[in-house]
Homo-oligomer: A and B are copies of this chain.
């Protein structure tokens, strides 16, 4: 048996980072940027007003106060979104809205509250100071500046920033397609009749949910019987995916054919700890650069193995090198976070009774709704996971 650190290292080394995909910015949420995002144009693109008021030359305001206002001629209007052709000289004012273009000659905006307009003139009772009330060209963003970096993870703030830069689509790392199948003559699926001898293949769905939670795409291939040709055929089909997960059939029993089926497809075995005691019988290998994980059939062991071995690999594939940084600040290795394996919880082939792996009401116990991409908490709470 090889130890957990070694197995994670083997998986990490064999895991490729996937390529790019261009997606609408909303679909990029939670995903890692594939490219740096640079500012293509100054923002604002020209000098605009930061408020509603009057654009003036500051020289027109010298010595004003509420009791001694300047009286300026209103020569035009600069509403938001429209060009303004007025040229402001001393003694002139242009009515301006937030976002309106600063007219030629103006260098200051007096806010509406400090003014009173009447019959073509406006009284300005305050001098805000030169340049006040103006957002100057490039003040927010300078052309050429790198605003977002490859590897950054997209949240609503980044979506807003991308939209501001007029990026409707953006390149992110592609999501891995993860084929999932369960082996065992004792299993049945939703559409099949229940019988005393059959157990629901719940692992297919729990694993698919873990894949979804990790941000990847599940491809549920269903149940395959304990039959070598059938397993070979389905595994061959599964090789369209980036990752293949099988559940069950990795123990030493008579009908355990999965690793034979893997081997017949040319798998390079990277590790197999199926003979370990206490053990979590897991196989890891590579077929044509695809990652192959043979997990145990015990539900809690399956879910724990996913968290320990597969989730970090999926994160690496998606360029999410930092998602585990919480417990390993500054460490970019998605495999570095994984807890040590606890044989009491991992289950093994010889589970004498149903594994009682409880689920916390994680929301109230952990205090945060951090399901997505958090380590699945298998160790506290109320719901017990039931073995096949």
- From B206, B322, B353, give the contact of A135 (CB < 8 A): B353
Among A1-9, A60-68, A98-106, A232-240, the stretch that binds chain B is A98-106
Residue of B nearest to A348 (CB): B51
Kindly state whether residue A231 has any CB partner on chain B within 8 Å: no
On whether the beta carbons of A46 and B209 are closer than 8 Å, the reply is: no
Kindly state whether residue A243 has any CB partner on chain B within 8 Å: no
Known: A51-B352, A98-B349, A354-B140. A209 touches B155 (CB 8 A): yes
On whether the beta carbons of B322 and A363 are closer than 8 Å, the reply is: yes
Most buried by B among A160, A322, A326, A353: A160
- From B156, B161, B197, B253, give the contact of A81 (CB < 8 A): B197
| A115-169 at interface with B (beta carbon < 8 Å) | 132-133, 135, 139-141, 147-148, 152-153, 155-166, 168
On whether the beta carbons of A253 and B385 are closer than 8 Å, the reply is: no
Using Cβ atoms and an 8 Å threshold, which residues of chain B touch A201? 163
Residue of B nearest to A210 (CB): B156
Using Cβ atoms and an 8 Å threshold, which residues of chain B touch A369? 153, 320, 323-324, 326, 370, 372-374
- From B101, B152, B204, B359, give the contact of A155 (CB < 8 A): B359
Using Cβ atoms and an 8 Å threshold, which residues of chain B touch A164? 200, 202, 299, 386
What are 26 A-B residue pairs whose CB atoms fall within 8 Å in the complex? A25-B205, A26-B205, A26-B209, A26-B218, A51-B350, A52-B254, A79-B186, A97-B186, A97-B255, A98-B251, A99-B199, A112-B253, A133-B352, A141-B386, A148-B383, A155-B209, A155-B359, A156-B207, A157-B359, A158-B383, A164-B299, A164-B386, A320-B369, A323-B369, A326-B369, A327-B367
